Amino acid sequence: MTGSDALDRLARLAGIEDGWWDFFGEWRVVPPETKRVFLAAMGLPAETDEQVWTSLKDLETRSWRRALEPVMVVEEQGEAPSIAITLPADSDEAEYAWVLEEELGIRHSGTFRPGELRWAEEFQLDGALIHRHWLDLPGLPPAGYHRLTLVAPFGAPVGSMALIVTPPRAFVPDAMEQGRGAWGIATQIYALRSASDWGAGTYGALAELAEGAAKLGAGAVGVNPLHALFPCQPERFSPYSPSSRRFLNIAYIDIEAIAEFGECLEAKRMFASPGYQATLARLRGYRLIEYPNLMRLARPMLEVLYRWFRRTNMGPDHPRGQAFRAYQAQAGVKGRQFALFEALHDKFGRDGAFYWRQWPEAYQHPTSKAVEDFVDENIEQVEFFEWLQFIADEQLAEAHRRGKDAGAAIGLYRDLAVGIAGDGGEAWAEQDSLALGVSVGAPPDPLALKGQDWGLVPFNPLTLRDHAYAPFIGVMAANMRHAGALRLDHAMSLARLYWVPPGQPADQGAYVRYPVDDLFRLVALESRRKSCLVIGEDLGTVPEGFRERMDRMGIFAYRVMVFEKTEGGAIRPPDRFDAQALAIFATHDLPSARGWWGAKDIDQREKLDLYPRPGQAAEERVARQADREAMVAALSVQGLLEPDFPTAPSLTDAQAVELSAAAHAYLGRSAAKLMMVQMEDVLGLDLQMNLPGTTDQHPNWRRRYEAETSALLADSKVTALAEALKGRR
């Protein structure tokens, strides 16, 4: 085998695909340089041929060096699992014991001699003969997280593995399983206005929307990712590029709703000062959110409220203090690590060292002695960041509760970003489970014709398994908290992700495979445990069989009306939409219905030079005209729009409202069991929340609604839509 052949074999074993078909039908071969970069990010050095051979041997023999694999994921309706036991050949006649401890503490045990077990295979490793046998467990524990330990003849553990038992399908509400549907309102939390916001939407405004929408008959309120961002770098405000997906964005805290706000005299004086009120009024009046100014105003107030909380609420018998301690216990080690990161980020960021790899080496890992000492010396500062998460969690829980109490079948419908920022808190805490040094993106497609590099760090598929998927499970569980549904952004990441090498164009990447069977099963398990419906955003390039797997496992598809076309280019009839799916007119990466009709996204991409070749914008305008004509034809066939409705790009206000009402009535007739309505579409607004492929060239994630949430809920267009959907949903 040549060095080139060895590199290719190593890459395939690590899950790196040899090439990919681009949107234009061309096969793109992955170059050796890309494979070497990706392998290094996985912990398999491959810069030289010698390193390739060493890494190949390491990967090929890894399972032979373990008595047990780190994890096994099985479905609860299957047969009792057979466990691979790998031990030296000379121990075949020794008596070993196995102990299976269930999640709830029930223990099962037995003994065996390896030579008496079913034979599997043997291997010569470093001059020693290794035997592998199959251990058949007598039964299967219930769904949950269990641990199997192998004990040597003298009582010492020689191996341990997580045994995870999962349900065959994810959770789907009974009403939906029985064929009944629901509808909901989708919005961006930062866009909401209320009398008490400080320049951006809050969890309080979300609670108001959730309750009001439920009273109108909505079963869900969908929001953008609520992930923790970077408080001391407030200019980094993309919800899809978070510091941590386990914790919450504190910029959405409703400060005036914090219990201590009504008690603390220092806070009241600060709030009442003329300068403070003038700044607050200015922030509330902006059409675009000014995140840095918002945080400069909010941070001192939050610190004042926290000091008051510590002085007045931390006694052993105080309910608020007890609730805080209970939250800390629930957040566990990961909660403390994230708070630690926030405190260290604050400390070193003052000197410009915002990336944790720029910190002194002693602080670059969460379990170092220096970090432990930092906690002891700065416990109040660390607990300040835990308190902020406690407040955010409390307010998010209230928003979900108010929606459910008002009759929402689902409640909050949250959104999970596909990855994290490499310099954030989750990367610092989970660095052993990540492929640091590469980023996640997408190959060229109609939304981003030059491809996309999202700058997000992916899980390392090799070490993720070594950690029994704990980081993945933790992210899933955290985002199903206070939610009745969860959208997986770029759900194909359960099977493969498109990685991009550093410093290279986005179209120079490659796909990396993930343990798809295990990840799907883990999503199903957490979904059942949290009673949380799962929606997989399956737009773009989808691996063969992926959608069928989603359907089989009860994970809803994501069907966008403007993309739902027949082979002839017509809009798919309502009764031909997938039933196990969410249907929506457009997404946050597209303009509103009115903007889409007017091709505002094409105008912007052309203006910003986002097309890879000349003339492509003109081609897209021709295609958009055909789409408009197809839309009118589909809506008129259903009797929802007159056949002579104008197909020119410009619409009057009345026409925009008429188009939106017709499109949503069409979706209301669809077979899809869940239908979502974007607030900006209902209102006939001409805006785009995010323009893919841009950073500061477009006001991404900064647009706000003109009216307060209460006024939006009372708007005749919203109430008319709700009335129209009552009979169908």
The token pair at 532 is 């949380």
pLDDT at 614 over 60: yes
- Residue 116 CA to residue 95 CA, distance in Å, equals 10
pLDDT tens string 496-514: 999 999 999 888 999 999 9
Q: Which residues contact 616 (CB under 8 A, 6 or more apart)?
A: 449
Q: What is the DSSP string of 656-712?
A: HHHHHHHHHHHHHTSS-SEEEEEHHHHTT----S--TT-STTTTTT-B--SS-HHHH
* 14-18, 174-178, 183-187, 719-723: the lowest-pLDDT one: 174-178
- Residue 689 CA to residue 226 CA, distance in Å, equals 16
The token pair at 543 is 């691996």
The token pair at 469 is 């998927």
CA-based angle 681:539:31, to the nearest 5?
Answer: 140
pLDDT of residue 77: 82
- The secondary structure of residue 525, as a DSSP letter, is H
Distance of CA 690 to the CA centre of its chain: 17
pLDDT tens string 115-124: 999 999 999 9
pLDDT of residue 657: 94
Q: Which of 244, 553, 255, 219 is nearest to 427 (CA)?
A: 244
pLDDT at 1 over 90: no
pLDDT of residue 419: 95
In the chain, CATH 2.60.40 sits at 77-166
The residue to which tokens 């050095």 are assigned: 45
Q: Which residues contact 546 (CB under 8 A, 6 or more apart)?
A: 492, 495, 538
- The secondary structure of residue 142, as a DSSP letter, is P
pLDDT tens string 407-446: 999 999 999 999 999 999 999 999 999 999 999 998 887 6
pLDDT of residue 729: 55
pLDDT tens string 319-347: 999 999 999 999 999 999 999 999 999 99
- Residue 713 CA to residue 263 CA, distance in Å, equals 31
| Share of the chain residues as helix, strand and coil, in percent rounded to the nearest 5 | 45, 20, 35
- Strands 107-112 and 96-101 come out as antiparallel
Residue 218 contacts residue 185 (beta carbons within 8 Å): yes
Q: Which of 465, 490, 486 is nearest to 477 (CA)?
A: 486
Q: Which of 413, 363, 29, 14 is nearest to 214 (CA)?
A: 413
Question: pLDDT band at 155, cuts 50/70/90?
Answer: confident
Q: Which of 44, 60, 65, 51 is nearest to 3 (CA)?
A: 51
Q: Mind spelling out the 3-state secondary structure of 623-640?
A: HHHHHHHHHHHHHHHCCC
For 118, the enclosing helix (H) or strand (E) is strand 118-125
Rounded to the nearest 10 degrees, the angle between the axes of helix 265-272 and helix 274-285 is 70
Strand residue runs (E) in 153-286: 157-166, 182-186, 220-222, 227-228, 244-248
pLDDT of residue 673: 96
Question: pLDDT band at 24, cuts 50/70/90?
Answer: confident
pLDDT at 305 over 60: yes
pLDDT tens string 169-207: 999 999 888 878 999 999 999 999 999 999 999 999 999
- Residue 501 CA to residue 31 CA, distance in Å, equals 11
* 37-41, 73-77, 218-222, 255-259: the lowest-pLDDT one: 73-77
Residue 506 contacts residue 451 (beta carbons within 8 Å): yes
pLDDT of residue 451: 82
Residue 159 contacts residue 107 (beta carbons within 8 Å): no
Q: Which residues contact 727 (CB under 8 A, 6 or more apart)?
A: none
Q: Which residues contact 83 (CB under 8 A, 6 or more apart)?
A: 68, 72, 98, 134, 135, 136, 137, 148, 161
Mean pLDDT score, 689-702: 89
Mean pLDDT score, 476-503: 97
pLDDT tens string 571-608: 999 999 999 999 999 999 999 999 999 999 999 999 99
- Residue 258 CA to residue 512 CA, distance in Å, equals 45
pLDDT of residue 334: 98
pLDDT tens string 624-675: 999 999 999 999 999 999 999 999 999 999 999 999 999 999 999 999 999 9
Rounded to the nearest 10 degrees, the angle between the axes of helix 470-479 and helix 516-530 is 40
- Angular region, 531: left φ>0, alpha ψ -120 to 50, beta rest: left
pLDDT at 348 over 70: yes
Mean pLDDT score, 354-382: 97
pLDDT of residue 124: 94
Mean pLDDT score, 262-274: 96
**CATH class of the domain comprising 77-166:** mainly beta
The token pair at 668 is 């209301």
- Residue 324 CA to residue 630 CA, distance in Å, equals 55
Q: What is the DSSP string of 607-625?
A: HTT--SSTTHHHHHHHHHH
pLDDT tens string 515-568: 999 999 999 999 999 999 999 999 988 999 999 999 999 999 999 999 999 999
CA-based angle 551:554:559, to the nearest 5?
Answer: 55
What size, in residues, is the chain? 729
pLDDT at 727 over 70: no
The token pair at 531 is 């009673």
pLDDT of residue 596: 96
Residue 211 contacts residue 403 (beta carbons within 8 Å): yes
Mean pLDDT rounded to a whole number for the chain:
95
Question: pLDDT band at 314, cuts 50/70/90?
Answer: confident
Residue 223 contacts residue 166 (beta carbons within 8 Å): no
Residue 414 contacts residue 479 (beta carbons within 8 Å): yes
The residue to which tokens 């065959």 are assigned: 168
- Residue 211 CA to residue 360 CA, distance in Å, equals 48
Residue 237 burial (CB count, 10 A): 21
- Residue 167 CA to residue 524 CA, distance in Å, equals 6
Residue 687 burial (CB count, 10 A): 16
The token pair at 171 is 């959770």
Rounded to the nearest 10 degrees, the angle between the axes of helix 49-61 and helix 3-14 is 40
Q: 690 has which bridge partners?
A: none
pLDDT at 449 over 80: no
Q: What is the DSSP string of 50-117?
A: HHHHHHHHHHHHGGGG-SS-SEEEEETTSPPPEEEEEEEGGGTTS-EEEEEE-TTS-EEEEEE-GGGS
Residue 401 contacts residue 338 (beta carbons within 8 Å): no
- Residue 39 CA to residue 490 CA, distance in Å, equals 23
The token pair at 87 is 């031990």
Q: Which residues contact 491 (CB under 8 A, 6 or more apart)?
A: 536, 537, 538, 550, 555, 558
Please give the single-letter amino acid code of residue 479.
N
Mean pLDDT score, 59-71: 96
- Residue 677 CA to residue 689 CA, distance in Å, equals 15
